[in-house]
Structure formats: structure tokens, C-alpha cells
Amino acid sequence: MSSRPTPSRRPLSGAGPVILHAPTDPGWLPLALANFDAVLVDHAHCEKKAAANALSMLQAYPDLPGLPSQMARLAREESAHLARVLDLMAARGLTLTRDAGDPYAQGLQKHVRTPALERRVDRLLVAAIIEARSCERLSLLAEGLTDPALARFYGELAQSEDGHQSLFHRLAVTASNGDEAGVDARLQHLLAQESRVLADVGLRAAIH
């Protein structure tokens, strides 16, 4: 019998600049594993929205140095992830349902400031936080899944999400004219809000 591979890294709290304030409740993983089909469908919607968000960033901020090319690549990568998740769903006889929305992401969006410059920084930081939480959750799935191929797949995706959170953080610093201290102070504020949003949303058979 082959053993399940262990990912080479464990970015459970975000290995890059976004260190989550609160870890996922230990009850999430058994819930997700017991309802893995539902998690797969939700995961597909997450990848779809990640690709759409990258293109939205490109549309909104084409003048931010480095952003257009990075977001074009990110949209392509997230679309490729979506295709792989859809293949997994098809193999399990699942179809993509209508997107019911993500209360976690919606809760974070409520904390985005409205003035244009502040909104740009906050949008990038919220994206970084979502990627960091996704990194943590996908790492947990990689460790908990008993199917070696699925475990390897989710380990690979966790590494990708870790890189994405670093990318969005770098772009937020660029958007604030290099004010890294100011960006990190704002990040800490948003991370505190993220902990509250996570608690309000509660445990769900979903990525967030």
C-alpha cells in the first residue's frame, strides 16, 4: 500500500507576509473531509472568482507598475486550477451548481475603504488575506486527504496560494508608494477584522 505524500512545506498560517491572526477551527477539517463533494464544488467557485478578481484588478488599476502582467498571469493560473477542479468533479459525477456567494469574502469586502487610493490598497490586501486563508485550508486538506493524488494536488495548490498572497502584498506596497510600514499597519487591522469575520461565518463545508 502506498503512503500519502506529505507536502514539503506547511504554510498553515501563511508562510509569506500575511500571517493570519487566528488558525482555522480544528473542527473544519473533519467537516470538510466528510463533505468533500460540497467542498469541491465550492472550491471550483473560489477558483472561478479568483480568476475574475485578477482580471477585475487589471481593469481597475492598469497603471500600477507590474500589476497588468502579474494579473494576466494570475488569471491564467487560476483558470487552470479551475479546470483541474472541474475535472475532479466530473470524475466524481458532480456538476457545478449556481454560486450561492461567499459570506467570508463578502464580510471582508465590508472593510474596504471607499476613497480611491485607500480602496486600491485595501482591495490588494484583502486579496492577500483571502489567499493566505486559502493556503492554510488547502494545506489542511493536503494533510487530511487519504487519496495520494488528491493530497498531492492540494499540496501544490497550497504552495500556489502562498505565492499569490505575497504577490498581492507586494502590489499593495507598490500602490502605497513604497510605504511598507503603513501597508503592514493596515494589514494588521484587516487581519483582526478577518478573525472576526471567520468567527461570524462559522464552520462550513467550504474553502472559506
Q: What is the mean pLDDT of residues 61-81?
A: 98
Query: Strand, coil or helix: what is 146?
Result: coil
Considering the chain, what percentage of its residues have pLDDT values greater than 70?
Answer: 92
Measured between alpha carbons, how far is 50 from 44 in angstroms, rounded to an integer? 10
Segment 180-197 mean pLDDT: 97
Do 161 and 132 form a contact (C-beta atoms < 8 A)?
Answer: yes
- Choosing among 3.30.565.10, 3.40.50.300, 1.20.120.420, 1.20.1260.10, the CATH entry for 27-201 is 1.20.1260.10
What was the pLDDT predicted at 100?
87
List the domain boundaries for the chain. Answer: 27-201
Residue length of the chain: 208
pLDDT digit string (tens) for 112-162? Answer: 999 999 999 999 999 999 999 999 999 999 999 999 999 999 999 999 999
- Please identify which residue in the block is written with the cell numbers 504577490: 167
The pLDDT of 26-46, averaged and rounded, is 98
Taking each helix axis from N to C end, the angle separating 148-175 and 180-201, rounded to the nearest 10 degrees, works out to: 140
Q: Is the pLDDT reported for residue 14 higher than 80?
A: no
Confidence label for 36 from pLDDT (cuts 50, 70 and 90) = very high
DSSP secondary structure string, 94-124?
Answer: ---------HHHHHHHTT---SHHHHHHHHH
Q: What is the mean pLDDT of residues 84-91?
A: 98
- 60, exposed or middle or buried, with CB in 10 Å at 0-12, 13-18, 19+? middle
At 15 the pLDDT is: 54
Q: What is the pLDDT of residue 17?
A: 84
